[in-house]
Amino acid sequence: MLTIVFDLDGTLIDTAPDLIATLNLILAGEGLPAVAYDDARRMIGGGARGMIQRALEAESRTASKTDLDRMFGAFIEHYAAHIADLSRPFPELEAALARLAGEGRRLAVCTNKLEWLSVRLLNALQLSRHFAAICGQDTFGVQKPDPEVLRRTILRAGGEPARAIMVGDSGTDIRTARAAMVPVIAVDFGYSEVPIESLRPDRIIGSFADLPAAIREIETESA
């Protein structure tokens, strides 16, 4: 059975509205200006701490570990309470997941979001039932682009790394998959900082309606 492993933010779910609202609330509390939506969208992908650090760097600011820990804690507390206010699955996602399951695919999530936040979000959107494993940056103590987090996610889902495909939206996802020797499909509607085609994934899709066919093409090439 083939295991399909998805990134979460910018791949399965458009989480940017809630993440950016939380980020700007935290920045305001520090007396810092809000980050423009399009700029903040490109800061997503390395977890909340990474998002805060990138926002500070954009203002040429630095923070001590103590201050960064405090900001991170405040971010998580607020975000957890507003995790699905505006976040929604990307179009055609649920139909694609149902179709993949019907084709006998095993599905999993590998994200740099904290595991409990990932589960909370997917529960809120009634999507958790589709996934055999939901793993975050804290699940195994490593995060993308370390390939070990992808390998362990596949194993936790009951799959084998040699029989898996990654689906993501960023250079981090593509580097992770390459390092794990797993084929990778990229979506072109996520949060990548650069044109996704420049990262040379195995396939690019513009809609989840195209995902089953892209998976079959990779399977055929690998046979």
Q: What is the CATH number of the domain that holds 197?
A: 3.40.50.1000
- Number of structural domains found in the chain: 2
Positions marked active-site = 7
Domain boundary among 81, 108, 133: 81
Based on the domain organization, do 59 and 150 belong to the same domain? no
Helical pair 65-81 and 16-29, crossing angle rounded to 10 deg: 130
Based on the domain organization, do 10 and 118 belong to the same domain? yes
Sheet of 203-205, strands arranged across = 133-135, 106-110, 3-6, 164-168, 184-187, 203-205
Q: Which residues pair with 134 in a beta bridge?
A: 109
CB atoms within 10 A of CB 104: 8
What range does the domain containing 215 cover? 3-14+87-222
Based on the domain organization, do 39 and 97 belong to the same domain? no
Domain boundary among 30, 51, 81: 81
Task: Pick out the chain residues at pLDDT < 50.
Answer: none
Based on the domain organization, do 102 and 122 belong to the same domain? yes
Amino acid in position 62: T
Which pLDDT does position 62 carry in this prediction? 85
Look up the CATH number of the domain holding residue 65. Answer: 1.10.150.240
Helices assigned H by DSSP within 2-139:
16-29, 37-41, 47-58, 65-81, 93-102, 115-124
Q: CA geometry: angle at 21 spanning 18 and 26, to 5°?
A: 125
Q: Which residues pair with 3 in a beta bridge?
A: 106, 164
Could you tell me if 12 and 118 are in contact, meaning their C-beta atoms sit under 8 angstroms apart?
Answer: no
Tracing tokens 């084709």 back to the chain, one arrives at 103
Cα distances (Å, whole numbers) of residue 221 to 13, 17, 95, 137, 206: 29, 38, 25, 31, 21
Based on the domain organization, do 163 and 213 belong to the same domain? yes
Q: Residue 133 and residue 151: Cα distance in Å, rounded?
A: 12
Q: Residue 223 and residue 208: Cα distance in Å, rounded?
A: 24
Domain boundary among 36, 52, 81: 81
In the chain, count H helices and then E strands. 9, 8
Based on the domain organization, do 65 and 115 belong to the same domain? no
H or E segment at 88? strand 88-89
Based on the domain organization, do 102 and 134 belong to the same domain? yes
